[in-house]
Amino acid sequence: MTLTRTPATPSGKTAGGIAVPRVLRLSAVLVLMLASIPLGYLVIRASGGGFDAAAAVLLREKTINMVFTTVALAILVALFSSLLGISSAWLIQRTNLPVSKLFLVLGTLTLAVPSYVSTYAWIALIPNFAGFWAAVFILTLTTSPYVLLASLAALRRIDATQEESARALGLNSVAVAKRVIWPQARPTVSASVLLAMLYVLSDFGAVSLLRVDTFTRVVHTMYKAAYDRSAAAVVAIILVLLAAILIYTEQRARGKAVAAKSGLGSIRLAPKVDLGWKKYLAASYLLAIATASIGVPIYVLVTRFISVSADINFSDLITAAISTLSAAFTGALMAMAFAIPLGILAARFRSKLSSWAEIGILLTHALPGVVIGLALVALGSNLGFLYQTLPLLAFSYAVLFLAKAVGSIRNSFARVPKVYDDISRSLGYTSWQTIRKVTIPIAAPGVITGFLLVLLTAMKELPATLMLRPTGFDTLATEIWTKTAISQYGQAAPYALLLVLVAAIPTYLLSRPDRAQPE
Amino acid sequence: MTALKIDGLTVTYANRPVLNELSLHVPSGAFATVLGPSGCGKTTLLRAIAGFISPFSGTIRFGDQLVSVSSIVVPPERRKVGYVAQEGALFPHLTVAQNIAFGITDNKVKSDLVAELLDLIGMSKFANRMPNELSGGQQTRVALARALAPEPKVMLLDEPFSALDAALRDDLRAEVSELLKNRKTTTLMVTHDREEALVVADLVALMRSGQFVQTGTPTEVYLDPVSPEVAISTGDVLLLSSTKDEAGKIDSVLTPTKLGTEFVSGKLVIRPEEIRIKPAGSGVAASVIDLDYYGHDAVVHLDAAGERINVRISGDLKVQVGDRVGLEHVGPIRWFPN
Amino acid sequence: MNLRKYFGLATVVALILSLTACAADSDQATGEGDSLSGTELTVYSGRSEEFIGPFFADFEAATGIELNVRYGDSAELAAQLLEEGDNSPADIFISQDAGSLGAVAEAGMLATLESEVLSLVPAEYAAASGNWVGITGRARVFAYDPIKVTELPTSIDDLLDPKWDGKIGFAPTNASFQGFVTALRQLRGDVAAEAWLTGLAANNPVPYEKNTMIVEAINAGQIEIGLTNHYYVYTVADGLGTEINVKDGFFAAGDPGNLINVSGAGVLNTAANSAGAVELIKFLLSDESQNRFVTDTYEYSVLPNIPAPQDLPSFLEIGSPIVDLDALKDVRKTQEMLIRAGLL
């Protein structure tokens, strides 16, 4: 009978309860268009020649190395951040780990530290810190919180009854993890691992400081020194293709998302595993991760901060913090306006359109910030009064980080039982009103998670901010850039410290249990 | 008040009919039930009436209003149907009072109406509770109040009591049907529980594989089934192999009769309560081989000339295993050819 | 959890913050009110605020022209200008290197400067096309560890000696290094230039993202010598606030390694206030400003009458090779060469 709960024919009638609200369809088209601005820009730039120059860049031995380095970096970071993220999540959620709440906060707090700041800190600590494995190390620390949050959310959705039934059927705890927990957690966790890999593809800060030749570093180099935008665009398109392969593979491997639970009743969580004395071992493990990811950056920043505390311009510091917050807040709100309709469409009215929009957003996410920045410069400079204003800057954040929001929003909408739609419709609400009054409020925790993720990431953004900010508008990230560009690390320290401090607020909210569990 | 009229309703999924040419007329204010096994299409029927899915053909009328023909399908929000889902499906983000108020559009009457409905379901003290703080029965009550609030023309109940425990289910069912009948709300409830289908209904429709096999009052469908299968679906039956001659005389182990030369074989359908146990010597000889004791009544398993016969008797047991007794058939004769 | 409350709050916060940010912004801007076209000037500056901000403040005070300055990386600002095309809000582009200016000029986006401005500096420090003019001079040098390096190289060719294997630092992605290689191509021809690069590559030089990182690496003892601009030694020392174990060294006179490059400025064709832009260039080329560049940022003046920074040889003493700075924009071939040599 459940067969009839889906539309009678996928493409068929739109009458009655299965109509896609026009607002949703229009906004999906709009979002798809917005997300494809950078891709369209690349195609236009690349078609303006540049194949010869790009061929010179690409048809050489080093390219194979570059492809290999980029792919190996992405895969290793995915692997290690999965290990770190999943193990931390399990220890925090399912064992009697001491001060587990503190470890959760520490584990997510890493998100507040931009990758360029932690890289600087590690270089300051170990002058020889550079190269491939250093990049694997830094990027693993940077991306593992995403996997941690996703794994936690997944673990919190699995009812203890299922595990108990499996145990009763003779499965041991390893088999339960493999055959009951993992299949249910996989879609959520694998989506977060994909985001981690796309992050690696697009990262510039860490790889450039650590001198690792990835595609993004090469794209930057070409933009920086060659003034040859066409060739750079050709290389960036190859980066997009690489991202497309990753996205395709992940969507294949992800498998079908499974319904969280069969009934409407609330979840009973499994009892915590008693680790015995090993809980101190587990705590040391998590403490070591926290030390590496936030301990070192904060230690280095504070010591540098102390060394220059005499001449800090507090008014500049506060102004930059306010600017950072206002741009990031506006950007996160805009991202929500784009992500909510798309999330609903993807969760409820899955179609070619919604799939393409999602893929477009993910591809955009893999692009270096400088590409997005230039694409919006090309577009924005035609918009006259809007160019180099706060709204356009915020818009660039929304385009850059939409992928972060759409995932959690789609998942939380997918978990709202459809029977609520039916009830609401029978009580006189149209399908659009139903989405507003019922679906969105029930999915609220996931929506807020998406909002916080975009807010957090936008605060740390640099390349697009440099190009699109209003003239004279300094954010904490641009101030850090300004100071470090001329080696004034001591002067940069207070800005970096304040950025970590400000970003810690949304990060803390993200780590709260009701947040990480979009139910 | 509004009658519900369904004519020739066909719903397809992936080009296969899920509902096939269904017709059903529920008079205004009547309480109708649709009884059928899971997978027969009864929830699909409710969803088509509510407008959640579009039928392939056929018509649905609420009184004189055509809400669904093949080309015109009135969206669910304009049909004025009440819908109570399994387990209630209260909105988890709203309080009890907000849930009930959800469908009320007139702000002036909202608070009075909510108070009135809370009172009606006996839950005035729970107005500000969240759904997860309620018991299963309370959730169902609130779901009913929520569905009643906009004064629907037709109330649809989708196995609303199936998740509740037995004692609570009987009470709540009686309470709900009384409430709906008092308000003269035309109601259609689907269920797979045969007792539930009969006890509250004015009209019962028996559904099999997307079709109605029999429609009638509870006594009609129980006492006068159109087939042995229908008889089985509405209650316990004894199916006795039997023969019938051209004069209409019927022979079976309970009705030993001399037949003519021409006869056909078939089945005799007898309800377990239509057989009386007599002292040995009267009626058909049988021996008690087992007893199922339920308290209020009991089922006696007997062997009569090699045929196994179950008889329902009242709880004060007068027989025990091994007794030799006589059996007498007291009910109507229902005979179906093989 | 009430979503509407949450986002309502978020919107209010965003609004308040934006207003505060704008207010803070207009507090900083001095001469508000009158919107006469001559009173505002939009500057794209590849020179960092730390080093040129004080000049801008003095210019505002002296002229009453309000500057809207957009700081960024010179090459990225050039790329941004090229994307903006005719819609660019910029009036003037100040760049750290001649290459970025050349690229914008090549796209036909820079106006020809009046001879009154061009004649302020010697011809070799301005574009032959007249599209831009040099503001400060910077010498290519080798920075070295004075304890470890006792025998100084006299020519860039000395660096090809196997004794430097793994000990040389350079910044291959940086415009300053690519400008030097472009000049080398001009001076020796493409074949010889590529041979030198191949030789350098054979010595396994260590690539750095920034020039300052080369100096820091020498100071940390990781490498012994590095190809960079002369002032980075001072920048790093200032940043660390301590003495560092790194010194600038010059090759023999006339060696390509002694290239003098310039930072410079050009006025956009589409400038709304080109008169103001020319005023700013004149201000930066004044004796007072030029002296300040020398003392504050250890750069060379492009004016013949201003002495070299303290402890540094004059341009004459350095004996830099003669190159067409405007042609340094031809970095595409340079990059291809660097790629072939395996350095980029």
Both structure tokens of B117: 């409905």
CA distance C45 to C42: 10
pLDDT at residue A1 above 60?
A: no
pLDDT at A265: 53
pLDDT score recorded for residue A57: 65
Q: What is the pLDDT of residues C229-280, one digit of tens each?
A: 999 998 888 877 788 899 999 999 889 999 988 999 999 999 999 999 999 9
Question: What does the alpha-carbon distance between residue A319 and residue A495 come to, in Å, rounded to a whole number?
Answer: 11
Q: Residues C130-142: what's their mean pLDDT?
A: 92
Phi, psi of B332 (to 5 degrees): -70, 160
Q: Which residue has the tokens 């584990």?
A: A107
Q: Cβ A430–B75 below 8 Å, yes or no?
A: yes
Cβ count within 10 A of residue A389: 17
CA A166 and chain centroid, separation: 34
Indicate whether B174 and B230 sit together in one domain: yes
- Closest partner residue to B93 (CB to CB) among A1, A7, A441 is A441
Q: How confident is the model at residue A19 (pLDDT cuts 50, 70, 90)?
A: low
Question: Quick one: pLDDT at residue A142?
Answer: 92
When pLDDT is averaged across residues A87-105 and rounded to a whole number, the result is 88
Boundary of a domain, candidates B234, B260, B290: B234
Average pLDDT score, chain C: 86
Length of chain A: 519
Name every chain B residue with its beta carbon within 8 A of the beta carbon of A427: 77, 83, 102-103, 146-147, 149-150
> Is B92 in the same domain as B54?
yes
| Partners of B299 in beta bridges | B292, B312
Grade residue A284 by pLDDT with cuts at 50, 70 and 90: very high
| pLDDT the model gives residue C56 | 94
pTM for the full predicted model: 0.80
- Residue C33: predicted pLDDT: 37
Which range has highest mean pLDDT (A111-115, A501-505, B107-111, C226-230)? C226-230
- Where does residue A162 rank: exposed (0-12), middle (13-18), buried (19+ CB within 10 A)? middle
What is d(CA B207, CA B41) in angstroms, rounded to the nearest whole number?
Answer: 8
Lowest mean pLDDT among A16-20, A80-84, B211-215, B248-252: A16-20
ipTM: 0.79
Distance CA(B322)–CA(C98), nearest Å, equals: 115
Residue C44, token pair as written in the block? 């794209």
How do residues C293-334 score in pLDDT, each as one tens digit? 999 888 999 998 889 888 888 888 888 888 888 777 777 788
Residue B292: partners with Cβ closer than 8 Å, 6 or more residues away? B298, B299, B301
Residue B279, H or E segment:
strand B275-279
| Contact across the interface for A438 and B73, Cβ inside 8 Å | no
Task: State whether B227 and B278 are in the same domain.
Answer: no
* pLDDT tens, residue by residue, A330-341: 999 999 988 888
What token pair was written down for B196? 């539930």
Q: How far apart are CA C104 and CA C87, in angstroms?
A: 14
Whether residue A3 lies inside any domain: the answer is no
Tokens of A108: 């997510």
> Exposed/middle/buried for A288, CB within 10 Å: 0-12, 13-18, 19+?
exposed
CB contact under 8 A, A211 and C208: yes
Handedness of CA C233, C236, C238, C244 (dihedral sign): negative
Q: Which amino acid is at B285?
A: A
Confidence at residue C212, expressed as pLDDT on a 0 to 100 scale: 87
Whether A426 and B77 lie within 8 Å, measured CB to CB: yes
| Model confidence pLDDT, tens digit, residues A408-466 | 888 888 888 888 888 888 888 888 888 888 888 888 888 888 899 899 999 999 888 98
The 8-class DSSP code of residue A20 comes to P
CATH assignment at residue A371: 1.10.3720.10
Are residues B291 and B266 part of one domain? yes
pLDDT at site C155: 93
B214 with B258, same domain? Answer: no
The residue of A224, A392, A462 whose CB has the most chain C CBs within 10 angstroms, and thus the best one to mutate to test that interface, is A224
CATH number at residue B274: 2.40.50.140
Question: What mean pLDDT is predicted for residues A142-147?
Answer: 92
* Tens of each residue's pLDDT in chain B, 338 residues: 689 999 999 998 888 889 999 999 999 999 999 999 888 888 899 989 988 888 888 999 998 888 888 677 888 888 889 999 887 888 888 899 999 998 888 888 888 999 999 998 889 999 999 888 888 888 888 998 999 898 899 999 998 888 778 778 888 888 888 888 888 999 999 998 888 889 889 999 999 989 999 999 999 999 999 998 889 888 888 888 888 888 778 888 777 777 777 788 888 898 888 888 888 888 888 889 888 888 888 888 988 888 888 888 886 667 888 888 888 888 888 888 88
Give the lowest-confidence range in A251-260, A275-284, A327-336.
A251-260
The answer to whether residues B276 and B170 belong to one domain is: no
Last residue of a domain, one of B234, B261, B287: B234
Q: CB distance C83–A483 less than 8 Å?
A: no
Q: For residue range C193-226, what is the model confidence (pLDDT) as tens digits?
A: 999 999 999 999 998 888 888 998 999 899 999 9
- Same domain? For B195 and B245 the reply is no
The C-alpha torsion from B135 through B141 and B142 to B147, rounded to 10°, is 150
Last-in-domain residue among B234, B266, B284:
B234
Quick check: C35 pLDDT over 70? no
pLDDT in tens, C18-33: 666 555 554 443 333 3
| Over residues A299-320, mean pLDDT | 80
Residue reference for tokens 């049907």: B177
Asked if the C-beta of B41 comes within 8 angstroms of chain A's C-beta atoms, the answer is yes
Query: How much is the pLDDT for A13?
Result: 37
Distance of CA C64 to the CA centre of its chain: 27
Contacting chains of C (3 CB pairs or more, <8 Å) are A
Query: Looking at the DSSP assignment, which residues form a beta bridge with residue C132?
Result: C266
Minimum mean pLDDT range among A249-258, A504-513, B180-189: A249-258
Domain limits for position A383:
19-259+271-516
Is residue B31 located within the same domain as residue B81?
yes
DSSP character at residue B211: E
Q: Which amino acid is at A490?
A: G
pLDDT for res C265: 95
Q: What is the reported pLDDT for A5? A: 33
CA within 13 Å, CB half, C149: 25
The amino acid occupying position A69 is T
Q: B149 contacts in A (CB within 8 Å)?
A: 427
Q: Is residue A265 part of a domain?
A: no
In a domain, A275, yes or no: yes
pLDDT at B273: 86
Q: What is the DSSP string of A209-275?
A: HTT---HHHHHHHIIIII--HHHHHHHHHHHHHHHHHHHHHHHHHH-PPPPS-SSSSPP-PPPPB--
Which chains form contacts with chain B, at 3 or more CB pairs under 8 Å? A
Range B186-203 burial, b when 16+ CB lie within 10 A, else e: bbbbbbbebebbbebbbb
SS3 annotation, chain C: CCHHHHHHHHHHHHHHHHHHHHHHHHHHCCCCCCCCHHHEEEEEECCCHHHHHHHHHHHHHHHCCEEEEEECCHHHHHHHHHHHHHHCCCCEEEECCHHHHHHHHHCCCECCCCHHHHCCCCHHHECCCCCEEEEEEEEEEEEECCCCCCCCCCCHHHHHCHHHCCCEEECCCCHHHHHHHHHHHHHHCHHHHHHHHHHHHHCCCEECCCHHHHHHHHHCCCCCEEEEECCHHHHHHHHHCCCCCCEEECCCCCCHHHCEEEEEEEEECCCCCHHHHHHHHHHHCCHHHHHHHHHHHCCEECCCCCCCCCCCCCHHHHCCCCCCHHHHHCHHHHHHHHHHCCCC
Instruction: For residues B114 and B172, state if they share a domain.
Output: yes
The residues facing A432 across adjacent strands are none
The contacts of residue A371 (CB under 8 Å, 6+ apart) are A38, A41, A42, A219, A233, A236
Mean pLDDT (chain A, rounded): 81
Contact (CB<8Å) A319/C336 = no
Give the number of C-alpha atoms closer than 13 A to the C-alpha of residue A341, restricted to the C-beta side: 20
Number of other residues whose CB lies within 10 A of the CB of residue C316: 10
Q: What is the pLDDT of residues A359-398, one digit of tens each?
A: 888 888 888 888 888 888 888 888 878 888 899 999 999 9
The minimum CA-CA distance between A103 and chain B, rounded to whole Å, is 30
Q: Same structural domain for residues B246 and B219?
A: no
B219 and B267, same structural domain? no
Report the percentage of chain C scoring pLDDT > 90. Answer: 49
CB contact under 8 A, B18 and A4: yes
CA distances from B75 to A131, A418, C3 (A): 62, 16, 28
Asked if residue C37 has pLDDT above 70, the reply is no
pLDDT tops 80 at residue A312: no
> What is the number of domains present in chain B?
2
pLDDT beyond 50 at A140: yes
By the 10 Å C-beta count (0-12 exposed, 13-18 middle, 19+ buried), C149 is classed as middle
With a CB cutoff of 8 Å and minimum separation 6, the contacts of C185 are C193, C333, C334, C337
What domains can you pick out in chain C, each with its CATH number?
35-136+261-314 (3.40.190.10), 138-260+322-340 (3.40.190.10)
Give the range among A82-91, A261-270, C134-143, C281-290 with minimum mean pLDDT.
A261-270
Q: Is B160 on the interface with A (CB under 8 A)?
A: no
Asked if B277 and B204 sit in the same domain, the reply is no
Which tokens in the block code for residue A67?
A: 């492809």
Given a cut of 50, is residue A145 above it in pLDDT?
Answer: yes
**CA–CA gap between residue C44 and residue C22 (Å, rounded):** 20
Contact check, Cβ <8 Å, A487/C340: no
Query: Which domain, by its residues, includes B36?
Result: 4-234
The CA distances from residue A314 to A26, A150, A310, A331, A495, in Å, are: 46, 38, 11, 26, 10
Mutate to test the interface with A, among B18, B91, B134 (most CBs of A within 10 A): B91
Count how many domains chain A has: 1
Q: Quickly state the pLDDT bin for A8 (edges 50, 70, 90).
A: very low
Summarize pLDDT for B291-310 with one digit per residue, the tens: 888 888 888 898 888 888 88
